[in-house]
C-alpha cells in the first residue's frame, strides 16, 4: 500500500482530531481578523474622518493583499511545505492585526491590514490542501467543511466582542485580540504534520513513517514509497487543470468562487453599515453579523450531510438561489425577527456555501493537482473580495434605497449558480473512487 492510500483509508484517530482542532483555531482567528474591520468602520470613520469610499478602499486594499497572498504562498507551498507556510501566514495575520490596533492614522492602519491580508490569503488554501492529504476519504468533505466553520465562529466572535467592547473601550483593543494565535504557536508547530506531498517529493520517508505510526503503529514497514515515481505528472499541476477533462469545470469553479467572495466580502465589510442605513441601531446591526455566521455554521453542518446523499451540485445550486432571494427580501423587511431569519439564510448561502465549495473542489480533483486547484480557485475568488468592498461603497454614495443595495449585491448569487451548472460532475475524482468501491464490492460479493 502507498502512503496516500493509507491515509485515505484510515479511520479517525486522536492524531486527526488534534490536527483538525488546530486548523480550526487558525481559521477561527482568521475569520475574526477579517470581519472585525466591518464592525469597526463606523468608529474608524469617526476617529479619522474618512469617507465611505476610503473605508471601502481600505477593505479592497486588504483583499488585494489577500489575493496576492493566495497566489504567492500557493506557489511556494510546494517548495517549502504547507506546514511552514501555514505557520508563517498565521504569524503574519495575527501580528499585523494586533499592530493595526496601534495605528495612529489611516495610512499605517491600511499597511498593517494589507500585510495581514497576505496572511489571510496564504493560510486558507494551504489549510484546505493540508487536511485533504491526511483526512480519511470517507470523512474528507465533512472535515474540510467543519474546519472552515472555524472562520464563521471567529467572525461571530468579532460581532459579540464588538458589541461588548467598541462602545466602552474603542476600536483599538478589538484588534489586539488578534494576537492570541501567537501564544499557541508552539503547540501548532508540534501537532500539525508537514504536507504528505512535500515529504514524498523530498523522500523524507522517516517522517511519513512517524505520522503513520501515530495512526496505526507498525504499519509503516509495509508501505511502498516507490510508487511516487510512477505517478509523477508529465505536466505541471496548474496546466493539468486545463486539460480537456477539467478545463471548463476549472473555469466554472473559479467564477463561482469569484461570485461567492463578492457576496461574502460585501457583507463582511458592510453589513453593519447597510443595516444601520436600513434603520436598525448599532447593537442590532452587529447582531446581524453574528446571525450571518450562525447561519453559515448551521448551514454547513446540516447541508454538508445532505451533500453526502444528494451530491454537491444538487445542494449548492439551490443554495445560491436561496441567497439571491433572501438578499432581495431583506431590503424590504421591517420586522427584526424576519430580518434575522433572512440573514440566517444568507449566511448559509454565502460563507456556508463557500465552506462546502472548498470541500467540492478538494474532492473533485485527484491528489496530485488538488493543491493547485484549491489555491488557484481561491486566488481567483479573491478578485471578488477586492471588488466587493469598493463596489458596495460606490452603491452607498449613490444614496439608493436600502433594498436596491441588497438586490445589486445578490445578483452575484445568480451568476454563481449558473457557473456551478456547467461543472462536469462526471469528471470528478470522487466518481472514480465510487466506481472503484463499487467494483470491489461486487468482487467481494462474487467470492
Judge contact between 246 and 339, C-beta under 8 A: no
Report pLDDT for 232.
46
How many angstroms separate the CA atoms of 89 and 347, rounded?
A: 26
Largest interatomic CA distance in the chain = 77
The pLDDT confidence band at residue 229, using thresholds 50, 70 and 90, is very low
pLDDT of 446 higher than 70: no
Judged against a pLDDT cut of 70, whether residue 373 lies above it is answered with yes
Beta-carbon count within 10 A of 436 CB:
10
Whether 110 and 48 have beta carbons less than 8 Å apart is answered as: no
Helices (H), 135-204: 140-169, 172-176, 181-191, 196-201
- pLDDT above 80 (res 371): no
- Record the cell numbers describing residue 135, joined without a space: 483526512
Q: At what angle do helices 351-364 and 140-169 cross, to 10 degrees?
A: 150
Length of the chain: 447
Q: pLDDT for 25-50, tens place per residue?
A: 999 999 898 888 888 888 888 889 88
Backbone angle region of 311, left / alpha / beta, with phi > 0 → left and psi within -120 to 50 → alpha: left
Within 8 A by CB and 6+ apart from 390, the residues are 53, 56, 57, 59, 60
**Residue 11: pLDDT over 90:** no
Angle made by CA atoms 89, 94, 96, in degrees to the nearest 5: 95
With a CB cutoff of 8 Å and minimum separation 6, the contacts of 348 are 295, 296, 298, 299, 300, 303, 319, 322, 323
Residue range 270-290: mean pLDDT, rounded? 77
For the cut 80, the answer to whether the pLDDT of residue 386 exceeds it is: yes
Is the confidence at residue 436, as pLDDT, over 70?
no
Among candidates 249, 248, 265, which has minimal Cα distance to 384? Answer: 265
Amino acid at each position: 500500500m502507498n502512503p496516500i492510500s493509507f491515509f485515505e483509508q484510515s479511520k479517525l484517530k486522536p492524531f486527526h482530531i488534534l490536527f483538525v482542532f488546530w486548523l480550526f483555531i487558525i481559521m477561527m482567528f482568521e475569520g475574526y481578523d477579517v470581519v472585525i474591520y466591518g464592525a469597526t468602520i463606523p468608529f474608524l470613520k469617526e476617529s479619522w474622518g474618512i469617507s465611505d469610499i476610503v473605508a471601502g478602499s481600505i477593505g479592497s486594499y486588504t483583499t488585494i493583499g489577500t489575493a496576492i497572498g493566495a497566489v504567492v504562498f500557493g506557489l511556494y507551498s510546494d517548495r517549502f511545505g504547507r506546514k511552514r507556510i501555514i505557520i508563517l501566514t498565521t504569524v503574519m495575520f495575527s501580528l499585523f492585526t494586533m499592530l493595526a490596533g496601534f495605528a495612529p492614522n489611516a495610512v499605517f492602519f491600511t499597511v498593517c491590514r494589507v500585510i495581514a491580508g497576505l496572511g489571510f490569503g496564504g493560510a486558507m488554501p494551504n489549510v484546505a490542501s493540508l487536511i485533504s492529504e491526511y483526512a480519511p476519504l470517507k470523512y474528507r468533505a465533512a472535515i474540510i467543511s467543519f474546519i472552515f466553520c472555524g472562520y464563521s465562529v471567529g467572525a461571530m466572535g468579532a460581532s459579540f466582542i464588538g458589541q461588548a467592547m467598541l462602545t466602552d473601550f474603542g476600536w483599538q483593543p478589538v484588534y489586539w485580540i488578534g494576537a492570541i494565535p501567537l501564544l499557541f504557536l508552539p503547540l501548532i508547530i508540534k501537532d500539525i504534520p508537514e504536507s504528505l506531498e512535500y515529504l514524498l517529493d523530498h523522500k523524507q520517508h522517516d517522517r511519513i513513517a512517524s505520522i503513520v505510526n501515530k495512526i496505526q503503529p507498525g504499519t509503516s514497514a509495509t508501505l511502498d514509497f516507490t510508487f511516487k515515481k510512477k505517478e509523477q505528472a508529465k505536466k505541471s499541476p496548474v496546466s493539468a487543470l486545463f486539460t480537456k477533462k477539467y478545463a471548463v469545470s476549472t473555469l466554472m469553479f473559479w467564477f463561482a468562487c469569484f461570485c461567492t467572495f463578492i457576496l461574502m466580502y460585501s457583507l463582511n465589510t458592510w453589513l453593519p453599515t447597510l443595516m444601520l442605513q436600513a434603520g436598525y441601531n448599532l447593537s442590532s446591526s452587529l447582531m446581524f453579523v453574528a446571525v450571518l455566521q450562525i447561519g453559515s455554521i448551521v448551514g454547513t453542518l446540516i447541508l454538508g450531510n445532505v451533500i453526502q446523499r444528494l451530491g454537491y451540485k444538487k445542494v449548492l445550486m439551490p443554495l445560491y438561489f436561496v441567497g439571491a432571494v433572501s438578499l432581495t427580501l431583506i431590503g424590504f423587511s421591517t420586522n427584526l425577527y424576519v430580518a434575522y431569519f433572512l440573514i440566517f439564510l444568507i449566511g448559509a448561502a454565502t460563507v456556508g456555501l463557500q465552506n462546502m465549495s472548498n470541500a467540492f473542489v478538494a474532492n473533485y480533483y485527484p491528489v496530485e493537482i488538488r493543491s493547485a486547484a484549491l489555491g488557484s480557485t481561491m486566488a481567483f475568488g479573491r478578485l471578488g473580495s477586492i471588488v466587493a468592498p469598493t463596489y458596495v461603497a460606490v452603491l452607498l454614495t449613490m444614496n439608493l434605497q436600502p433594498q436596491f443595495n441588497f438586490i445589486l449585491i445578490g445578483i452575484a448569487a445568480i451568476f454563481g449558480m449558473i457557473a456551478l451548472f456547467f461543472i462536469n460532475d462526471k469528471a470528478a475524482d470522487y466518481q472514480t473512487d465510487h466506481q472503484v468501491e463499487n467494483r470491489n464490492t461486487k468482487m467481494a460479493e462474487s467470492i
